[in-house]
Structure 1
């Protein structure tokens, strides 16, 4: 039975699950969740305890949370490796959590304000967190990918995080290492595919998407 991934092409965390599936060349069915694909909603609702995506279904096994999806894919399809052994694996997991918690979540402050769901002061909190995160990444990134020469789970998390965070609070000039890293991510075929498949939905971005990328 083929793996199914439930999500939406414009969702950052769906990207995070799609990228490793494509990197590993794993056959799967994408089950889009929106008003135009309501038939996918019943199974998703049955499997999901939170109603949040992405969610991976492998037979009767259900895996949710994008990081856990990547961990699962690494077990069932080890090559190419996205989570190295030893200390490199620890660093990969640390960067993964950093991108989710301190880049993607900080970007979400801007989105919530634009949607009218949060006080405008939340934008200042998001900006302050992103400034600190950008500066830390500038000092810590590897020469090619997040932790070195190998594309890992950390980069799967980085791609959607930096893609969207740069839309709401652009990476400043002077942080050239980080700006170059974002460009390398967007040029990687699996990330480029995620970007391209999400293009028809850019009008959904609160406040409007910038005319770039």
Structure 2
């Protein structure tokens, strides 16, 4: 198969690319990266020495692509599906890129700070940094709540790359710093994301690895089984 995605089913940034692939039923080979396996790790680092996932390999042109937004734009250009993930209108396309970065920088990054701190041993924790991360998330939720007051999806009426970015960011951030109750438009938007088949498939693939997530006990029950109520 031409495309190979190196990823891990639990990783939030990997979810973003998986959503884009599943939204358009784009065929690809899945390679789960186990950095604890010496051979698998060496193979992966040969493609991308930075060592961060996901990474997409296009065997047809012998090209390696890191970075989630770059991967999705590459798919849009070279392997387009029935559902465009970047609008044709230039203003809307720029808006899509803006909100894509918003979720990556102001939801994913502070969420990962909180998660990483939970994994640190006593004496090495960063309570001030965690507090700042929670504060950033609250600002992001407030901005998103205003945005979603009149929108179905982030950019107009069509699901886009920005929504691919939003879904995993809000899934994990909502666990470590809940938004339900205080931000009704954000919560309603996340429910729409959670109802998409691409999201359900991604979460189903992540579920066997949930035990590795430091906040596993806080994962909402609706995500623990395939037949859980929405």
| TM-score w.r.t. length of structure 1 | 0.94
**Alpha carbons 1:102, 1:130 under 8 Å: kept:** yes
Q: Distance in 2 between matches of 1:26 and 1:37?
A: 28
Distance in 2, matches of 1:45 and 1:93, equals 28
Alignment correspondent of 1:119: 126
Question: Does the aligned pair in 2 maintain the 1:167–1:209 contact within 8 Å?
Answer: no
Which residue does the alignment assign to 2:226?
none
- In structure 1, C-alpha distance between the alignment counterparts of 2:54 and 2:125, rounded to whole Å: 24
For the aligned residues, what is the CA RMSD?
Answer: 1.7
Question: What does 1:7-156 align with in structure 2 at a 5 Å threshold?
Answer: 7-34=7-34, 40-59=40-59, 60-79=62-81, 80-85=83-88, 86-116=90-120, 118-141=125-148, 143-156=151-164
The DSSP-based 3-state class of the residue aligned with 1:104 is: helix
In the TM superposition, residue 209 of structure 1 has moved relative to its aligned partner by: 3.9
Match of 1:168 among 165, 169, 176: 176
CA contact (8 A) 2:4 2:29 kept: yes
CA contact (8 A) 2:176 2:215 kept: no
**What is residue 227 of structure 2 aligned with on the other side?**
none
Deviation at residue 43 of structure 1 after TM alignment: 2.9
Secondary structure of the corresponding residue to residue 163 of structure 2: helix
Q: Which runs of 5+ in 2 are unaligned?
A: 224-230
Contact 1:32–1:40, Cα closer than 8 Å, also in 2: no
1:56–1:62 Cα contact (<8 Å) kept: yes
Q: Residue 130 of structure 1: SS of its match in structure 2?
A: helix
CA distance in 2, matches of 1:96, 1:37: 32
Count of residues paired in the alignment: 213
Q: Matches of 2:4 and 2:38 in 1, distance apart?
A: 16
User: Tell me, which stretches of 5 or more residues in structure 1 are unaligned?
Assistant: none
Q: Tell me if structure 2 keeps the 8 A contact 1:18–1:194.
A: yes
Q: Shift in Å at residue 81 of structure 1?
A: 0.7
In structure 2, do the counterparts of structure 1 residues 174 and 35 end up closer, same or farther at CA, with 3 Å as the change threshold?
closer
Going from structure 1 to structure 2, the CA distance change for 1:5 and 1:37 (only over 3 Å counts) comes to farther
What is the DSSP-based 3-state SS (H/G/I as helix, E as strand, rest coil) of the residue aligned with 1:62? Answer: strand
The alignment partner of 2:216 has SS state of coil
- Cα deviations by residue, 1:123-149 (Å, 9 ceiling, x for unpaired): 111110000000000011352111121
